[in-house]
Amino acid sequence: MCAGRIDEYGYLADGRSGALVGRDGSVDWWCPSRFDAPSVFGRLLGDDGGHWWIRPAGEYQVERSYLDDTLVLRTVFSTEEGSVAVTDALALDAEARGHDIGRSPPGLFLRLVEGLSGHVPMVMSYAPRFEYGRVRAYLEPHGETSIARATGSTLGMTATVPVQHWETEATASFTVGPGQRETFSLSHSSTYHEREPMPVDVPAVLADTVEGWRSWLATHPYTGLYPDLVRRSALILEGLTYQRSGAVVAAATTSLPVRPEGHDNYDYRYVWLRDFSLTLRVLSVAACPVEAERLFRWIAEAIGDVGIEPIPIVLGVEGERDLSERELGVLTGHVAIGPVLLGNDAWRQRQQDALGQVLDAAWLLRERLEPMPDDVRRLLRSLTEQAADTWRLPDSGIWELRGEERHHVTSKVGCWMALDRAVRFGGVLGSAGDLKRWAAVRDEIRAAVLEQGWNPRVGAITDAFGSDRLDASVLILPLVGFIDAADPRMRATIGRIDQELTTDGLVRRWPGDSAGFVICSFWLVGCLALAGERDRATALFESLTKRSNDLGLFAEQIDLDTGEHLGNLPQAFSHIGLISAAWRLTAAATGRPTPVSTAI
């Protein structure tokens, strides 16, 4: 049995990892230790990856939703015999979050089955596969708990219904009547360092997890337009956060394809500086200043002393640098579209825009960095000098293109942003002579971008110096304060992208691309709002938000013909785009300033 469409999945999180649950009640992805750890359920990427499903034995229809203000998923199955609800959650990791919001140990999956009407026959299949499906462990019954051990990990699945064991799979058949409850829990621990799995009070821990999510959101009041959408996306970003460090991963999955031929299957379970200041900005918009400050301090520590070497543009969740990419031959890929990759060789690339991302983030948090720590000052000075010295170099660009480096416009703008923010800091970062020199280089970069990035034959700012190709990445120029959206050159660029790269509100990155890139579509919303086209921006925003799946989740891209989501899920970049576009519309409608000095 194959996994379903990417957009048929719901997302659960616990502060250190995430899980995907399909509409069929199957847990098809979970890497319990941390986001980039080996999976124990990997059916998402191939039938041999392992699964854990609970669902009606016969035909059924599905309605599902998150419990209000949580990442706790409730799926209602309706059958001819009656209806039943399955509530799924990862118990929040109180240790990782740093405060007491839960009574449970980390690595605990909760499943509660409740009869709503009639008597519904149910089936369960539990088939863990360690190390991305490489290892099938024997299941050993210990009372109500099924124990599986392999590769230094122990899984203990406890059920309140009778379970049959078939070496590497456990199954159950049971019937649920009105008001009847059956519970299932799955704990993950180290075989060598932690205690044996113990049964847990599933309803109590589930209620505690619900309260944990709601208490977090209650302390982060958002007061702009589209509050329900923004709150949902803020929850998803929180669910993509590795709480021990504060790092926000790009997505919870690896190798979900963006095109049928299977190219560009990448592992996104890492932290990109490309997303850094954008993440901080939306955390501020969503009233999450503590999370924003924590993320910045982690990034500053993880980068360390840069010197003359290129800044590391992607890191592991605990600051790891070497993320060498390799192909996993065990699994065939989502709907047999491979390859399945672990690691990401983008860590080897030069991406000049990352310099500006860090300086911009520091400027955003300037009040919370007073007085500025010496290590932060040294880092920011080092990045500023690197931008001044290397801005003329080609790089791999914001889209991490593999091949020949080019003079990407957005990379030059990233260097401009680094110098611009450094000059704004004034004497905090440099002497009068430093500031004068940085300002001169900043102005030189801006002049070069406007001269060499603008192509009069195309009538737009293009992707790279001397190029004639449109690229939606240049929509960020007015959003970071480089150029006014109403400037004739930018206005013409927005018009060309709107005309040539946009289909039914979905913006492709470049001509010939087969799918709309979600954040680019939200960038267009922001640009239209800044250009004074508020009605058009509002209509585009509302059409885009309707393209999420039924739970409000976005992957990276959306197929122009079918509307199917493509790429890793959930995608932080996409939800960052939604929040920032909502705030830009709020500012346009109310005249309220953004919470930071430059536009999102």
Show the tokens assigned to 485. Answer: 């959206």
Q: Quick one: what percent of the chain has pLDDT higher than 70?
A: 91
Which of 59-68, 89-98, 129-138, 180-189 is predicted with the least confidence, judged by mean pLDDT?
89-98
The mean pLDDT value of the chain amounts to 90
Residues 255-313: pLDDT tens digits?
999 987 777 899 999 998 877 667 776 666 655 566 667 767 777 777 766 665 677 88
pLDDT tens digits, one per residue of 393-416 = 999 989 888 888 999 999 999 999
Confidence of residue 599 (pLDDT cuts 50, 70, 90): very low
Pair 112, 156 in one domain? yes
470 close to 510: Cβ distance less than 8 angstroms: yes
Q: What is the pLDDT of residue 464?
A: 97
Q: Which residues contact 384 (CB under 8 A, 6 or more apart)?
A: 355, 359, 418, 419, 422, 429, 430, 438
**3 pLDDT above the threshold of 80:** no
pTM (2 d.p.): 0.94
For residue 600, what pLDDT is reported? 37
Distance CA 580, CA 594 (A): 10
Residue of higher predicted confidence among 468 and 144 = 468
Which of 164, 191, 216 terminates a domain? The answer is 216
Rounded to an integer, what is the distance from CA 352 to the centroid of its chain? 22
Task: Please check whether residues 210 and 315 belong to one and the same domain.
Answer: no
Residues 488 and 511 in one domain: yes
CATH number at residue 354: 1.50.10.10
Answer with the one of 182, 216, 250 that is the final residue of a domain.
216
Question: What ranges make up the beta strands (E) of 79-168?
Answer: 82-90, 108-118, 120-127, 140-142, 145-150, 153-159, 164-166
* Res 199: pLDDT: 75
Which residues, 6 or more positions from 8, have their beta carbon under 8 angstroms from its beta carbon?
22, 23, 549
Same domain membership, residue 211 and residue 227: no
Give yes or no: residues 212 and 224 share one domain.
Answer: no
Decide if pLDDT at 593 tops 70: no
- For residue 596, the model assigns a pLDDT of 40
Is residue 108 included in any domain, yes or no?
yes
Among the listed ranges 60-64, 74-78, 98-102, which one has the minimum average pLDDT value?
98-102
Q: Which of 164, 187, 216 is the last residue of a domain?
A: 216
For residue 391, count other CB atoms closer than 10 A to its CB: 24
* Integer Cα distance of 199 and 183 in angstroms: 10
> How many structural domains does the chain have?
2
Q: Looking at the structure, do residues 268 and 185 belong to the same domain, yes or no?
A: no
State which residues form the domain around 50: 6-216
Q: Are residues 198 and 288 in the same domain?
A: no
